[in-house]
């Protein structure tokens, strides 16, 4: 069992860095795996996923799945139903975290939460990425307009009903911007598919 002094130093490391650390980061800062395990077993740290720890004294996470994915897959972008749910543009309850990755990048190995992966390239990958601070963590996510366009682009995967519902919700949201929406629809090559639904709502 590590000494109280060593355990206290590790707790302070976590506090200095917002309460969440990857095991690799903690080890690089001078902690030891034995100390992390001892603190986990004592209930001082909670394990969010393999090699990802958080101080148990912190308030409960509002979005533990999004935070875990953002920390474990920093190059990924939260997308589709997960993004639409975050923006309250869908009544769907995500059973996976929808994650966009750049085509050609390696698939992440994550035991939890379950992921549904989408591979994007070019402007469809790089445009419309926003960063939101969720539970103190920077989370990359496609904007509301880009997420609606993506839902139409991948309507065979998420369902046309989900795409139409998202469009209707976005139309009545304060964030609504028709030009921005059509910009992303063109990037996603779904302008002709989406336009009749959009015109019916205008």
pLDDT in tens, 67-81: 889 988 999 999 999
Q: Which residue has the tokens 């929406």?
A: 181
- Model pLDDT, residue 63: 85
- Ordered strands of the 137-142 beta sheet: 115-120, 97-102, 77-78, 137-142, 129-134
Q: Which residue has the tokens 């302070």?
A: 12
- Model pLDDT, residue 186: 96
**Global pTM value:** 0.79
pLDDT at 144 over 90: yes
User: Which tokens hold the place of 93?
Assistant: 């309850």
- Model pLDDT, residue 15: 85
- Model pLDDT, residue 136: 81
Pairing verdict, β 115-120 and 97-102:
parallel
pLDDT in tens, 166-197: 999 999 999 899 999 999 999 999 999 999 99
DSSP string, 129-153: EEEEEETTEEEEEE-HHHHHHHHHH
């Amino acid at each position: 069992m590590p000494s109280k002094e060593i355990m206290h130093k590790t707790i302070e490391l976590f506090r200095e860095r917002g309460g969440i650390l990857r095991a690799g980061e903690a080890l690089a800062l001078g902690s030891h795996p034995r100390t992390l395990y001892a603190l986990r077993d004592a209930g001082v740290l909670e394990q969010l996923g393999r090699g990802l720890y958080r101080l148990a004294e912190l308030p409960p996470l509002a979005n533990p799945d999004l935070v875990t994915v953002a920390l474990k897959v920093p190059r990924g972008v939260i997308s589709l139903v997960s993004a639409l749910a975050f923006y309250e543009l869908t009544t769907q309850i995500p059973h996976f975290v929808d994650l966009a990755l750049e085509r050609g990048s390696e698939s992440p190995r994550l035991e939890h939460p379950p992921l549904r992966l989408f591979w994007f390239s070019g402007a469809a990958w790089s445009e419309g990425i926003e960063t939101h601070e969720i539970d103190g963590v920077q989370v990359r996510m496609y904007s509301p307009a880009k997420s609606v366009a993506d839902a139409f682009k991948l309507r065979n995967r998420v369902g046309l009903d989900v795409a139409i519902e998202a469009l209707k919700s976005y139309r009545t949201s304060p964030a609504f911007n028709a030009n921005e929406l059509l910009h992303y629809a063109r990037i996603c090559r779904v302008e002709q598919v989406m336009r009749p639904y959009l015109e019916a709502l205008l």
